[in-house]
Amino acid sequence: MSVGKLEECREHIRAQLDAVVEFWLKYSHDTVYGGFFTCIGRDGNVYDELKYVWLQGRQVWMYCRLYRSVDRFRRPDILEAAKAGGEFLRKFARVSTNGNKWKCAFCLTRDGKAVKVQRTIFSECFYIMAMDELSRVTGDKEMQLDAEQMMEQLIYWVREDASGLGRPQLPGDVPTNSMAVPMMLLCLVQQLSEGRPEAGKKYAELGSWCVTEIQQHIQRDGTAILENVSATGAELPGCLGRLQNPGHALEAGWFLLRYAADNNNKELQRTAIEKFVELPFESGWDKAHGGLFYFLDVDGHCPTQLEWSMKLWWPHSEALVAFLMAYSQTRSRELLENFFRVYEYTFSHFPDSKSGEWFGYLTQEGKVALDFKGGPFKGFFHVPRCLYMCESLLDDLLGKHG
């Protein structure tokens, strides 16, 4: 183990996390209507007042997790910000559509009026994460119940009847297993079960189902992870079926590694590392310019996503967590070397040394393409979660105080 280098990484990651937290504390809070601004320019200016529910939930969760887990973040201002965000969510996130009281909006006006609803489960997923984590730091049992009730609705939509999401059943629309769905449900199982044995028993079957569904995305005789497969685990035709998302596969990898560790499942650990960490990294790394491609086509066609060749903040965040977690479980030198490889690219390209936080969107060559710090998809989540998790993993590897 390269102790000296890992200690340098830990100190740098710790400083980065401190700076990122301060950026969002300074610029994102709406002290008039509650909740958080997420459309934040390079220097902290708010360029759009719309509030995206999944990002509101992510920010509440992140504040609470830092407050609960890291001594230096156990601060009144962070707790109060989390509580204010949670209050905004509980008051405005849910919209009544066709008698369904559980559907959440995708985005809201500054003062909480619903603007748009998506026919997916992701606003609801992050509502659950926010309420559960907030209940852990406040002791509010109603919030915990709120999270658990929303979870039951989510399970029903995914496994029984999706009509409540509002998506019409069209004759040419083939049932699809999108990897994002079982990934998020597995994340929620782990969230709701943490430190609660009864919940662990309650969601054990669901967790096992999620793991099976995720593994269906191992395709082409184990040589590729495909983002979408049929409901029965077969490859789909066309661009949808050939789509690869290296960052998503790496994120699934560390979800599976965490599940494998919790259940002492060495076979799953091996699958997670070989198929969901090493494989997508090898195919997704840009050999010419460095960094991870956003999307790829498994057959080498040009992906139809216009941003396919760009380098985004979140796949690199997930890669850092995946490789460091895999190394912490195996002590494989190769995994550590790949962590350092991602680390060098990430910290030499994404952080903004002038204004703080990270740029989110780079060209294939690694130049800044979009200089805002937050938007409809980038909020206070992937960067701080990565930094927090890497700091924690490094603490365990090196000893808490180095």
Which residue type occupies 53? V
Distances (CA, A) of 186 to 210, 219, 254: 6, 21, 11
Tokens 């195996």: give the residue.
330
Nearest to 282 by CA among 361, 338, 221: 338
SS3 content of the chain, % helix, strand, coil (to 5): 55, 10, 35
Sequential pLDDT tens for the chain (402 residues): 689 999 999 999 999 999 999 999 999 999 999 999 999 999 999 999 999 999 999 999 999 999 999 999 999 999 999 999 999 999 999 997 666 789 999 999 999 999 999 999 999 999 999 999 999 999 999 999 999 999 999 999 999 999 888 888 889 988 999 999 999 999 999 999 999 999 999 999 999 999 999 999 999 999 999 999 999 999 999 999 999 999 999 999 999 999 999 999 999 999 999 999 999 999 999 999 999 999 999 999 999 999 999 999 999 999 999 999 999 999 999 999 999 999 999 999 999 999 999 999 999 999 999 999 999 999 999 999 999 999 999 999 998 654
pLDDT of residue 55: 98
Beta-carbon contacts of 376 under 8 Å, excluding residues fewer than 6 positions away, are 38, 39, 50, 52, 55, 107
What is the biggest distance separating any 2 CA atoms in the chain, rounded to whole angstroms?
Answer: 60
H/E stretch holding 178 reads strand 176-178
Nearest to 124 by CA among 90, 163, 151: 151
Q: What is the DSSP letter of 298?
A: T
d(CA 179, CA 217): 7
pLDDT of residue 182: 98
pLDDT of residue 99: 67
d(CA 316, CA 362): 12
Tell me which fold the domain 175-371 belongs to.
Answer: Glycosyltransferase (1.50.10)
Strands (E), 101-161: 107-108, 114-116
